[in-house]
Structure 1
Amino acid sequence: MRGENKRSVIVGIFVFVGIAILVAGVLTLGGQQKKFVKAIQLKAVFDDIGGLQEGNNIWFSGVKIGTVRKINFYGDAQVEIEMNVEEEVVEFIRKDSKATISSDGLIGNKIIVIYGGTTLAPAVEDGDRLESVMPLDTDQMMETLQVNNENLVEITGNLKNLTSKLAEGEGMVGAALTDSLLAENFRAIVNNLNQASINSNRMINELKSFTAKLNQEGNLFNELVTDTTMVSEMKQTLVSLNTAAENAQKMTSELSTVTEKFNSTDNSVGMLLNDPELAETLRSTLQNADSASYNLNRGMDALEYTWPFNKGFKRKKKAEEKENN
């Protein structure tokens, strides 16, 4: 009898411990699932939930604030998520907040993250629908990474080929890296360019100094640019030079006409210059005149010794001698 009572006590203890464990587990799970706290329901519609399940957590600013209550199909091919959110954090979630799907860690369970919202918008209420933002698709990210990896491998191979060619001296760049003579020529070109740059800078400075001197007062160029009176006088001088040039051109034209007449035989001067017969006749006439004057002089000399004029010449000679004395 005593053994049966002992066995009953032990069984009762195990049953009590089991019930206690069951109650503790229910309370623990209920606490994690927010079953025993006051909550409101919020909704969000996604095109793809990516494996999200009922009971997954909802986070706001890094704090767990609720769980996924229910998943329903919505419209043609969308999914509506009903969320239980603790009532005590409702005042911090605004109507313009957004909801997106993320992961609890790198490979953890799917969660819903509520973020954003401004103080200008009022707090959410039971049954409100938040704007949803589609998360990055991990499959697309992996495909993109795979493509980038293939491109990187190709770029690495091309870079390897390029560096090997450069090391072997192929191409212009390779020759420049390996050929010492080409390097010297390139260095000489760079030095020449540097010298040209120095010369150009010096020329620019000299030109700047020259222009500064031109802008000084009293300079001819400065007066030409700033003195309106000199400009007017120069204009008048240019007009006078233009008139003189026109007159010279006119005189040249008239002189050309005169020379043309001199070359013609229809006038006296032209005949004197161009008619050989008239020239010969004029020459003969001059010779005859010269011969006549010579004979006249001889006749006058002979006339001094003739008897009728002898006394007259003697008197003239005595008178001249008297005046000279």
Structure 2
Amino acid sequence: MKSAPKSNNYKVKVGLFVVLGVLILVAGILMIGTMRKTFVNKIDAYAILDDVNGLTRGSNVWFSGVKVGTVKRIDFVENSKVKVTFGIEEASQKFIKKDATVKVSSDGLIGNTIIVVSGGSSAADMVEDGYQFHVSKEESQQEMIKTLQENNKNLLAITTDFKELIHSIKGGQGSVGKLLTQDDLYTKLNTTLSGLEAATVNAKATTASLAQFSKNLNTEGNFVNDLMTDKQMYGDLKQTVNTLGETSRMLRETSNSAKVMMANLQETSQKINNDKNSTVGVLLHDAKTAQNVKGILQNLESGSAKLDENLEALQHNFLFRRYFRKKKQNDEKEKADTLTQVTAIPK
């Protein structure tokens, strides 16, 4: 009679555990569905990719760093391309525009493969159910790893070259190696640097002197300062320079004229020397003709002297004496009239 209550208690306990297990199972399903947003209203969109890089069903879809959906289906299409269909929450639909693009990326360097939606302008319309996204290219993990491997090879080659360079320098090879190992070269370099330092000091002193000289030029009362500030002096100096320029031009013209005259004289002299048939050429080159001309001149001089004697004799001849006396009186009267006119001119 006492075993019946025990059996009922056991059944009650089993029933409670079953109910509790079902409740836990339903709560887990609801929790997982909430985390994966299984029960959220979504629209379907898709993209056709060349390579999905390990993308699977259930992979996340991200937009601006926020999860907005999951991958639903992956199917092959023509030309070895892959069609990826994914859901997008209706709550996020209005923020995703039709000019946005998708690409396959990873959650971190070695994380899970995901779909990333990016871009889009505010002027474009929002995506609709069944919309096909355009695809943008992104390097895959394999390509990134390959790039890292290439960079490692380049880094190893650079390290090897650097080691060889250090070894050469330690061995005294090259300019740097010789500078570090040869004392005489270091001494010469040190001397050169000392000379450069001295030249720098001299350059600074020269600069200071030029600055002082410029300051002195700007001091009032200085000739250069007066020349730069006094417009009257500047005008006079400019006029003087213009006059000197005009004088120089006249001198150049005179020199050119003299050169032309000398050239003409030289040409005339050459013609005279070359043309022996001309009058001057005959006189210069023909001695007989020159002697004849000399005789003619002597005869003319002798005839002129005789003519003077004849005129003197005519003056004393009684037939012409009256004529010459009257002529002399007329000449003296003309001289007297001329002298009177000169003395009558008021001073």
CA–CA distance in structure 2, aligned partners of residues 164 and 243 of structure 1: 81
The number of residue pairs the alignment matches comes to 259
1:55 aligns with 2:58: yes
Determine what percentage of the aligned residue pairs are the same residue.
34
Structural mapping, 1:102-121, within 5 Å: 102-121=105-124
Structure 2 residue aligned with 1:45, among 43, 48, 69?
48
Q: Is the 8 A contact 1:47 1:134 kept in 2?
A: no
Structure 1 residue aligned with 2:287, among 267, 274, 285?
267
Gap change, CA 1:255 and 1:106, over 3 Å in 2: closer
Gap change, CA 1:192 and 1:247, over 3 Å in 2: farther
Structural mapping, 1:271-286, within 5 Å: none
Which residue is 1:66 aligned to?
69
Gap change, CA 1:140 and 1:219, over 3 Å in 2: farther
Structural mapping, 1:1-325, within 5 Å: 1-189=4-192, 195=199, 198=203, 217=234, 227=242, 231=245, 233-252=247-266, 266-267=286-287
| Equivalent residue letter for 1:240 | T
CA–CA distance in structure 1, aligned partners of residues 268 and 287 of structure 2: 17
CA–CA distance in structure 2, aligned partners of residues 113 and 123 of structure 1: 17
| Equivalent residue letter for 1:143 | K
Q: What is the CA-CA distance between 1:198 and the residue it aligns to? A: 4.3
Gap change, CA 1:55 and 1:234, over 3 Å in 2: same
Listed one character per residue, the Cα deviations across residues 249-306 of structure 1 (whole Å, up to 9, x for unaligned) are: 4445666767x98xx98427999xxxxxxxxxxxxxxxxxxxxxxxxxxxxxxxxxxx
Q: What is the CA-CA distance between 1:43 and the residue it aligns to? A: 1.5
CA–CA distance in structure 1, aligned partners of residues 178 and 44 of structure 2: 74
CA–CA distance in structure 2, aligned partners of residues 218 and 188 of structure 1: 55
Return the TM-score normalized by structure 2: 0.62
Listed one character per residue, the Cα deviations across residues 63-111 of structure 1 (whole Å, up to 9, x for unaligned) are: 2221111112233122121111111111111111121222234433222
Listed one character per residue, the Cα deviations across residues 168-225 of structure 1 (whole Å, up to 9, x for unaligned) are: 22122211233232233334445666749949x98xx89xx9xxx8x974798x779x
Structure 1 segments, 4+ long, off by >3 Å, are 186-199, 215-220, 229-236, 249-258, 268-271
Q: Is the 8 A contact 1:166 1:174 kept in 2?
A: yes
CA–CA distance in structure 2, aligned partners of residues 108 and 265 of structure 1: 122
CA–CA distance in structure 2, aligned partners of residues 270 and 5 of structure 1: 183
Which residue is 1:283 aligned to?
none
Gap change, CA 1:19 and 1:9, over 3 Å in 2: same
Q: Is the 8 A contact 2:62 2:117 kept in 1?
A: yes
Gap change, CA 1:5 and 1:105, over 3 Å in 2: farther
CA–CA distance in structure 2, aligned partners of residues 29 and 37 of structure 1: 12
CA–CA distance in structure 2, aligned partners of residues 135 and 15 of structure 1: 51
In angstroms, what is the RMSD of aligned CA positions?
A: 3.9
- Secondary structure of the residue that 1:52 maps to in structure 2? coil
**Any unmatched runs of 5+ in structure 2?**
215-223, 229-233, 292-347
Q: What is the CA-CA distance between 1:10 and the residue it aligns to? A: 2.5
Return the TM-score normalized by structure 1: 0.66
Q: What is the CA-CA distance between 1:121 and the residue it aligns to? A: 1.2
Gap change, CA 1:268 and 1:77, over 3 Å in 2: same
| Equivalent residue letter for 2:60 | N
Which residue is 1:299 aligned to?
none
